[in-house]
Amino acid sequence: MKGCPIRRLGIHAAAIRSPALLAAAAIVAVLAAAGSAWTQGVDLLPAPSGEDTGEQEMKALRRAYPAEIREATLRDGDWAVDLRGEWFLWAHGRLLPEPDREDWANYSRYRFYRYPLETLPPVPQLTADEAARLNDALEAAREHPPRRSEAFLERLFDARDLEETARHVVTIEFLGFSVQVHQRIVDPLNQIAAEIEERGHTDPQVRAFLSSLAEIDGYNYRDVAGTRTRSYHSFGLAVDLIPRSYGGKAPYWRWVMEKDTRWWATPYERRWMLPLAVVAAFERHGFVWGGKWLFFDTMHFEYRPEILILASSKVAGSN
């Protein structure tokens, strides 16, 4: 692929002051060169979906949260959304409040990415040089953990700090377990549970999966491992479906990386996987699955309806 990967991301090299951003750009460059179709769910790999103007992403947010986002429009030459009377600008993919627009180079990108619907992405095929550069970039990110601005999510979900977040966390019954989640996702989770339980009556694989579960984790006020960015668990917007045993298979890329520098090449048959019928039920109600990420986390689902809107638009050819 021709051209500077940093410039293709909308990042001007002279403006980058953070070593973490340089490490992230290096990871993007490696995967672009490899032609990888993988998507991502962590700040270490901030690749845009489509053109880097932010138009499609901001319009997807408007569709995903119509009660909270009043408008998506161009504002002072940048795409912006009106979130309950406060403007947030694309700002090179950082989603910043209008007063912070010029500080975009101090943050990693908000996580938009290409999400494959109704399919599993192929396992990446990297050369030895590409793999080495990928692992070197991850090491650089460990030394300089990336940080995303939390302002947009904190405003969207009324979750600026631990105390405010906790006021919106409720306990529900989900697939037979008590789980704490943000009240915003209670209805979607209830619909998902109904679909999965109904499918379990006729699908032996789903029925066996349900009986294998040991716990389901939800709200947990913490950062994403290896970053200075709040996890979706910290907003109460993610759930982890945890079995009694992984059967010797790998659910999480970091656990594999401790023993294998080629963690990204772990084949599906060596990963702990959920029935795809379970994945589809989550996706129908606004959740993405970590099993489709380069940095795979097969127990993890998080509420990202805007990502699925973007994916659906691309499938329909309307993007």
- 248 occurs within a structural domain: yes
**Quick check: is 44 in a domain?**
no
Q: Is residue 56 part of a domain?
A: no
Of 8 and 69, the one with more pLDDT: 69
Q: Give domain status of residue 53, yes or no.
A: no
Across the chain, what does the average pLDDT equal?
Answer: 84
Whether 314 shows a pLDDT value over 90: the answer reads: no
What is the total count of domains within the chain?
A: 1
Model confidence at 144, in pLDDT bands (50, 70, 90)? confident
Domain of residue 235: give its range.
159-311
Q: Which has the minimum average pLDDT: 20-24, 54-58, 71-75, 217-221?
A: 20-24
> Whole-model pTM?
0.85
Q: 106 lies in a domain?
A: no
Q: Is residue 237 part of a domain?
A: yes
Has residue 132 been placed in a domain? no
Per-residue pLDDT reduced to its tens digit, 27-63 = 555 454 444 444 443 334 434 444 478 999 999 999 9
Instruction: Return all residues near 238 (Cβ < 8 A) that are at least 6 apart.
Output: 218, 231, 232, 300, 301, 302, 303
Residue 256: CATH number of its domain: 3.30.1380
d(Cα 104, Cα 114) in Å, to the nearest integer?
A: 22
Give the pairing type, strands 169-174 and 177-182. antiparallel
Is the pLDDT score of 18 beyond 70?
no
User: pLDDT tens digit string along 170-198?
Assistant: 999 999 999 999 999 999 999 999 999 99
Is 119 a domain residue?
A: no
